[in-house]
Amino acid sequence: MVRDTKKKLVYALWPILAWGQRPVVPHMQVISTLDGTPMLEAGLPAASRPYLGLLLQDQKAESGEARCLVFVLRPGPVREALGTGARGSFILLSANGREIHTSAEFRQFMEGVSAGSEVRLRFLRTSPKPETETSLAVRVATWADWAAPIDFAHPPRVRLAPEQVVPAGAGPTSFERFMEEQFSRHRLDSAVAATRKHILGAMEANYSPNILSRVAYGFYRPTRLAELQTIITDPLVSAVDRHKDNPLSAAQPLLAEAAKNLDVRFTAAQQERIDIANPRQALRDAAGMVGRAHTHLDRAFSQLDSAARKNLHSYARGLLEPDRFGEQPVVRARQASMAIDYGSLLAAADALVAWSAPDGPPQQQKVPLAAIPSELKSAVKGDILAAERIDGGWFVYGGFGSNEYDMSLIDVVIDPAGDDIYRYPGNARPSVQLILDWAGNDRYLGENGAAGPASGLLGVSVLIDRAGEDRYSGGNLSCGGGLMGVGLLMDLGGNDSYQAVEWSLAHFLRHYRCSGG
């Protein structure tokens, strides 16, 4: 729960899992233990090579007999077949009745099988105790079926040198000088040098398409994280300060800073005008922005066919649950993350904030009420000033009293006043959604554990509330959360509260107090 006791400006934007590079030819992953014992992952070098998901290590039993430890059980057919029993330690004993004592023997076995065939594996489960034998019949997959972004090498030619992320400056920082003095004083120079080499090696070995330059910088220059923080946060604060007279206009520069964090680019849209004083015209103006956002959104997912994009909606939520990372649908979502154009995602969000409203809402006595269309009877309660069906979506201009909206069915709401309720009864909602609420003590409620306000799942959701004592709540991915999408929440005034669960974000630019979830 977060409460802000002063008038404030709230920005929340978070395209999570937004990495945005193209997949390239997979590399051979070389893995060793700390003592140099070689390990082998069967099926890694080629996309079509048979794959089971076993990372193996050669070791010796107490008797001196060679045996093959399952060092890591990666997402794959074996882990999927074991299900909840995948936790624990395993020794691979045999494959199709052939005894296996070394990783080399298993590699030789895998060279004789083909994807789609069935193999019988026998394991000794050594923990938890007591030891038990487990037999499995599994269907051989290909490496391409289960590869995650980290399995794809990022070519050195597209990597940024650390000094391109944060300029190195004239010499060591005061912190670096202090640390070097302490290392020398306590004779830790060689140990620190070895640690730095290990960190750098880990970075280089796993520089995958979804690694961000500013994240990588932390590995290259671990003693300069303060400088990294400065180049990330200072532009956000200065953007808000520059736009104090019109806080809404800070949204575009903030999205531009988000693009820098995500190693992508987009061209900011030209400012449009919304005629807020004319309800029907305001909805048509908003429809133009929504249409442009859809164009950018389609471009963002253009590398995915319609079936993959449809499946991604259900698969992607598994990314919010670490226990599901080994499931094939979640692997599919991780693979799809490399095919998304995140610059276009940010451009879609930019299209919804690139506008100005010189005039406020109309005076109450000058605008007649409109009838609620029969299709919206269950989704809208209270008086409204206009409702339009445009390009298959519903656009509603609320009344001056209290309204209640079912946001699973409405693309755009502009509401001039009143203590309103915006409900999110489930996770289903339009892929592009905009709310502009001018005044009132409003509630934005994600119900039954559903993602709540400003939740961008494979889409864009922008919520702008200009005034009032408001309350925002929801489950995972609420209050400006985005998953392969963008959620942007801007609250321009009032003492408000925010409550969400995990994978949710709100960045408050005034004094605040935070507790709970």
Q: How confident is the model at residue 369 (pLDDT cuts 50, 70, 90)?
A: very high
Give the residue carrying structure tokens 């306590």.
186
329 in any annotated domain:
no
Q: Residues for the chain: how many in total?
A: 517
Q: What is the spatial distance between Cα 252 and Cα 346, in angstroms, rounded to a whole number?
A: 10
H or E stretch covering 145 = helix 143-146
Give the residue carrying structure tokens 């938890």.
128
Biggest CA–CA distance in the chain, Å, is 92
516 in any annotated domain:
yes
411 in any annotated domain:
yes
Q: Which residues contact 219 (CB under 8 A, 6 or more apart)?
A: 199, 200, 202, 203
Per residue in 15-46, is it b (16+ CB within 10 Å) or e — as a string?
A: bbbbbbbebeebeebeeeeeeeeebbbbbbee
> Which tops the pLDDT comparison, 343 or 36?
343
Nearest CA-CA partner of 332 in 458, 146, 54:
146
Q: What is the spatial distance between Cα 505 and Cα 455, in angstroms, rounded to a whole number?
A: 10
Q: How confident is the model at residue 313 (pLDDT cuts 50, 70, 90)?
A: confident
The predicted pLDDT at position 116 comes to: 94
6 and 60 inside one domain? no
List the strands of the sheet with 393-398, edge to edge.
384-390, 393-398, 412-415, 432-437, 460-465, 486-491, 10-13, 507-508
The predicted pLDDT at position 46 comes to: 60
Q: List the single range of 121-135, 294-308, 357-371, 501-515 with lowest mean pLDDT.
A: 501-515
Q: What is the mean pLDDT of residues 19-48?
A: 35
* Residue ending a domain, choose from 99, 121, 146: 146
Q: What is the spatial distance between Cα 377 and Cα 407, in angstroms, rounded to a whole number?
A: 13
Share of the chain above pLDDT 90, in %: 56
42 and 16 inside one domain? no
Contact between 460 and 297 under an 8 Å Cβ cutoff? The reply is yes
* Residue ending a domain, choose from 146, 171, 205: 146
202 in any annotated domain:
no
Contact between 327 and 75 under an 8 Å Cβ cutoff? The reply is yes
16 and 109 inside one domain? no
Q: What is the mean pLDDT of residues 295-315?
A: 91
11 and 59 inside one domain? no
9 and 94 inside one domain? no
Give me the long-range contacts of 28-32 (CB less than 8 A, separation at least 24): 29/151, 29/205, 30/205, 31/55
Taking each continuous run of H as one helix and of E as one strand, the counts in the chain are 13, 30
Nearest CA-CA partner of 255 in 21, 498, 9, 487:
487
Q: What is the mean pLDDT of residues 148-169?
A: 78
The predicted pLDDT at position 475 comes to: 92
Q: What is the spatial distance between Cα 466 and Cα 493, in angstroms, rounded to a whole number?
A: 6
The predicted pLDDT at position 199 comes to: 85
86 in any annotated domain:
yes
The predicted pLDDT at position 49 comes to: 85
> What would the two tokens of residue 449 be?
């554990």
pLDDT digits (tens, 9 = 90+) for 427-442: 999 999 999 999 999 9
What is the CATH number for 80?
2.30.42.10
Q: How confident is the model at residue 155 (pLDDT cuts 50, 70, 90)?
A: low
Q: What is the mean pLDDT of residues 382-390?
A: 97
Q: What is the mean pLDDT of residues 125-129?
A: 90
Q: What is the mean pLDDT of residues 395-400?
A: 97
70 and 12 inside one domain? no
* Terminal CA-CA length for the chain: 6
Full domain range(s) for residue 422: 1-20+243-303+340-517
199 in any annotated domain:
no
Q: List the single range of 104-108, 381-385, 463-467, 513-517 with lowest mean pLDDT.
A: 513-517
Q: How confident is the model at residue 143 (pLDDT cuts 50, 70, 90)?
A: confident
Average pLDDT, the chain: 84
* Residue ending a domain, choose from 131, 146, 161: 146
Contact between 228 and 214 under an 8 Å Cβ cutoff? The reply is yes
> Following DSSP, what letter does each residue of 8-33 receive, concatenated?
--EEEE--BT-------------EE-
The predicted pLDDT at position 151 comes to: 78
Share of the chain above pLDDT 70, in %: 88
Instruction: Assess whether pLDDT exceeds 80 at residue 387.
Output: yes
Q: What is the spatial distance between Cα 295 and Cα 297, in angstroms, rounded to a whole number?
A: 5
Q: What is the mean pLDDT of residues 474-491?
A: 93
75 and 15 inside one domain? no
134 and 250 inside one domain? no
Q: What is the spatial distance between Cα 451 and Cα 407, in angstroms, rounded to a whole number?
A: 11
The predicted pLDDT at position 211 comes to: 86
Q: What is the spatial distance between Cα 401 and Cα 194, in angstroms, rounded to a whole number?
A: 67
pLDDT digits (tens, 9 = 90+) for 54-101: 989 998 888 888 999 998 888 899 999 998 788 889 999 999 999 999
350 and 462 inside one domain? yes
Nearest CA-CA partner of 251 in 239, 260, 263:
239
pLDDT digits (tens, 9 = 90+) for 264-290: 989 999 988 899 999 999 999 999 999
79 in any annotated domain:
yes
482 in any annotated domain:
yes
Q: How confident is the model at residue 18 (pLDDT cuts 50, 70, 90)?
A: very low
The predicted pLDDT at position 32 comes to: 29
Our count of domains for the chain comes to: 2
Instruction: Assess whether pLDDT exceeds 60 at residue 38.
Output: no
Instruction: Assess whether pLDDT exceeds 70 at residue 13.
Output: no
Instruction: Assess whether pLDDT exceeds 90 at residue 297.
Output: yes
Q: What is the spatial distance between Cα 410 and Cα 430, in angstroms, rounded to a whole number?
A: 7
505 and 458 inside one domain? yes
Q: List the single range of 33-47, 235-249, 348-362, 493-507 with lowest mean pLDDT.
A: 33-47
> Which tops the pLDDT comparison, 140 or 364?
140
Q: Which residues contact 446 (CB under 8 A, 6 or more apart)?
A: 424, 452, 453, 455, 473, 474, 475, 478, 500
396 and 459 inside one domain? yes
413 and 282 inside one domain? yes
The predicted pLDDT at position 157 comes to: 64
